[in-house]
Amino acid sequence: MTRRNPDRYTPEDWKMAGRTVGAILSNRWLVYTECELCELRIRADLKRIARARGTHFVLWGRSTTCRRMGCPGRVTFWVRPHGARGDVAMT
């Protein structure tokens, strides 16, 4: 990323900078999930995801079921890049 002001990056720019789980790990970005139904937030274990799916696995555009017992909701992955204005939905 060549621009000087990270606060002006678009979600697409962040997606290109951290396309895979391996890239997100090397950038040391925080990733968490948030349930759309019960609003439970859990920090994503990127190292575990990398071991299970590989470092080339892509979280962008993915969703999974909520981990709270009994909740039928789906979660959205969010990334918190360094220098971003806020968290970026990985939709």
CA distances to 9, 27, 82 from 4, in Å:
10, 17, 13
pLDDT tens per residue across span 10-26: 888 888 989 999 999 99
Cα–Cα distance for residue pair 39/34, rounded to 1 Å: 6
Which residue, 76, 2, 11, 6, is CA-closest to 39?
Answer: 76
CB count, 10 Å around CB of 52?
Answer: 10
pTM of the predicted protein model: 0.85
Percent of the chain with pLDDT over 90: 75
CA distances to 18, 40, 41, 53 from 50, in Å:
14, 23, 20, 5
